[in-house]
Amino acid sequence: MIDSVLAFLWSTFTYVINLFISKAHILIFAMFVAAALRVYLDPLKLKQTFIRKSGTAIIGSVALGALSPLCACGSMAVIVAMMTTVLPWGPIMAFLTSSPIMGPNEFVIFAGIVNFRFAIALTISSIGIGIFAGYITHIIDKHTKFLKNQIRLVETKPSSSCSSTGCGIGDFEHSKNDNKLDKLFEKYKVAEFLRAVYNLGVKRIIPFFALFATIGYAISQFVPAEIMTTYLGTGNHFAVPLLSLLGLPLYVGSASAAPLMNILTEVGVSQGALLSFIITGSGTSIAVIVGLLTVMKRKAILLYVVFIFIFSILAGYLFDLYLLVF
């Protein structure tokens, strides 16, 4: 018994290490992309650029949510900024629903570890749910009183761990030495960039990547592929809503879950079901809901969860249909 456990632990450790080695270039590239965007792009400036005109506010909010690398606290900062302007509920909900699902680093990791089509599908889903939720919310806001008084009018101050350069990066006290090297480092924010690589990569992506790789390997070893195919394969029409429901209460960091998604794909789980699982798992995590509770009331949050759940199922079925046809 002990020998079997030790053998499994060693094989798991070997698998995870080999996976890190084989995918190191993808992880490093994703970490650098995420860190660079966090440090050198200001989310509030992006917001002002994308949603300068009210006629394009929803599309601009979707672009900001789906294409910018905002962490949970960074997202909350932008949401508060939106709510303190004259923006109506449509653009706000468009940003909310598209923001947690996809980002540049997630695209790099999913394209390199799962497959390019899955990364494209997740990107399209992030954009699609934002547009869908934004315009439906606009109609609800315009013709009903459902969202009336659903914003918590509280004075929100940015925390020390969330600046325009990203979550947990903080301010770095530069030396007042006037030599050229110090000025160059200060000009190009080298210290902030390295801090972001550490916070985003070493402290977040890598540990969760290893965790989900371990879970995926354990599933492949102990759960027969026939069971996975029968209950979660494309032949089971309930696989998509089942995994969508499973993802609702869980925290699934989409980028770090890539190795788990890859293994589940290999053992026959429907890619559409996995897509729906990623959407709900990243969109309705406890961290996101708690963050929303600080600025929104129950009806607005309920509408947000309904949008995520319904569109996750729709996206899952459409992706499975696409894979079946093409």
**Residue 219: per-residue pLDDT:** 67
The whole-model pTM stands at: 0.68
**Residue 171: per-residue pLDDT:** 47
Q: Residue range 172-190: average pLDDT?
A: 65
| Percent of residues, the chain, with pLDDT higher than 90 | 15
Locus of tokens 């300068």: 52
**Residue 64: per-residue pLDDT:** 75
Enumerate residues 6+ apart whose C-beta is below 8 A from 5.
Answer: none
Residue 159 has pLDDT above 50, yes or no: no
**What beta strand segments (E) does 125-278 contain?**
162-163, 166-167
- Backbone dihedral region for residue 18 (phi beyond 0: left; psi -120 to 50: alpha; all else: beta): alpha
d(CA 221, CA 15): 12
Task: Convert the pLDDT of each residue in 79-91 to its tens digit.
Answer: 656 665 556 888 8
d(CA 286, CA 237): 28
Q: Which of 81, 83, 93, 72 is nearest to 46 (CA)?
A: 81
**Residue 54: per-residue pLDDT:** 46
Instruction: Identify the three-state secondary structure at position 60.
Output: helix
Q: Mean pLDDT of all residues in the chain?
A: 75
For residues 253 and 290, the model is more confident at: 290
Residue 43 has pLDDT above 70, yes or no: no
Burial 253-274 (b: 16+ CB within 10 A, else e): bbbbbbbbbbbbbebbbbbbbb
Joined tokens for residue 65:
């949510």
> Lowest mean pLDDT: which of 148-152, 185-189, 215-219?
215-219
Query: CB burial class (10 A; 0-12, 13-18, 19+) of residue 90?
Result: buried
Task: Convert the pLDDT of each residue in 271-324 to its tens digit.
Answer: 999 999 888 888 886 667 766 776 788 899 899 999 999 999 999 999 999 998
Instruction: Work out whether the CA dihedral 306, 309, 315, 318 comes out positive or negative.
Output: negative
> Lowest mean pLDDT: which of 58-62, 193-197, 247-251?
247-251
To the nearest 10 degrees (0 to 180), the angle between helices 2-22 and 206-222 is 130
Task: Convert the pLDDT of each residue in 120-143 to its tens digit.
Answer: 999 999 999 999 999 999 999 889
Tally of domains in the chain: 1
**Residue 321: per-residue pLDDT:** 92
Contact, 304 vs 253, CB < 8 A?
Answer: no
Residue 162 has pLDDT above 50, yes or no: no
Burial 37-66 (b: 16+ CB within 10 A, else e): bbbeeebeebbeebbeeeeebbbbbbbbbb
Q: What is the span of the domain harbouring residue 287? A: 2-325
